A = this chain, B = another copy of it.
Amino acid sequence: MESHAVVPGHITGLFTVERRSDPIKTGSTGAGITIDPGVSVTARTADTTNVIINGEPATIEPVTRVLEDLGVTATIDIETKLPIGAGFGVSGAATLGAALTATAVADGTKTEQELIERAHVAEVTAGTGLGDVVAQARGGIPIRIEPGSDGRLDGIPATGRIEAISLGTLSTPAVLDERPEQITEAGELTLATLLEDPTIEQLFACSQEFAQATGLLAPEVSEVIDAVETAGGTAMMSMLGKTVVALGTGLSDAGYDPIVGQIDHAGARLTQDPNNF
């Protein structure tokens, strides 16, 4: 038996770090953009759990954790065109997709919110993410008003084409441990500014402000953003990766060869056919 899911990528623009004793309540507030293409996940019934990414055996700690927590075993086959560790939330997408599909091939008796909670806890416990899972479950342009898997969400009403280019990886745990207070302070300030004018243009402006205020803006990322702006476009850095994201044709117009996607309004969902991806 097999089951398929698609989960969007998530580009984080700005965020806070909110650690609590309860992993359900641990997470982050902030805002980002979910994109299609994201991650496609297929689960197949198996006696032991095996994880495959783009055809190669792999280990993704939160994926293993969430299956253990759910008490199911399965072969989890993950396909994605997005770079891993580059600020697209691939680990969160793989974890949520694994929870959805592995449960579907096992007993199928969990609600979406129960599966989101399990995937969120697995990500937080593995230290691979704080806010991707809840954003990817929702889709659109999610605003995380409260942290944790049961925190209040909102969104910016917008649609359109998104371009992205990755210049390399950043280690999520290292950056989060280094300066959580500075990140949280900048995240709270820029989120408040965004909520005064909840548009996609303002999200890009606030995200740029956040990247500068936290010192997270990498020089090579800054250079590409400048090139997009010189060509008349709007761009920002994705947290946490050396990744530049632009509205519309911003990166193409500046002469780059980007990943092209769309805002994903659906969020994580089971699909009937893996070729829906």
Which residues of A pack against B, CB within 8 Å? 100, 103-104, 108-113, 115, 139-140, 143, 154-160, 195, 197-199, 265-267, 269-272
Q: Secondary structure of the A side of the interface?
A: loop
Q: Which residues of B contact A199 (CB under 8 A)?
A: 108-109
**Nearest CB in chain B: distance from A30 CB, A:** 14
Question: A271 and B159: CB pair below 8 A?
Answer: yes
- 26 A-B pairs, CB-CB below 8 angstroms? A103-B157, A104-B157, A108-B199, A109-B199, A110-B157, A110-B198, A111-B143, A111-B155, A111-B156, A111-B195, A111-B198, A112-B154, A112-B157, A113-B154, A115-B157, A139-B266, A140-B269, A157-B269, A159-B269, A159-B270, A159-B271, A160-B272, A265-B266, A265-B269, A266-B266, A266-B267
7 further contact pairs, Cβ within 8 A, besides A108-B157, A111-B156: A111-B143, A112-B140, A115-B157, A139-B265, A140-B269, A157-B269, A159-B269
**Nearest CB in chain B: distance from A163 CB, A:** 15
Q: Which residues of B contact A140 (CB under 8 A)?
A: 112, 269
Cα–Cα, bound, A270→B158 (Å): 6
Q: Which residues of B contact A158 (CB under 8 A)?
A: 270
Q: Which residues of B contact A195 (CB under 8 A)?
A: 111
Cα–Cα, bound, A111→B195 (Å): 8
Cα–Cα, bound, A56→B154 (Å): 35
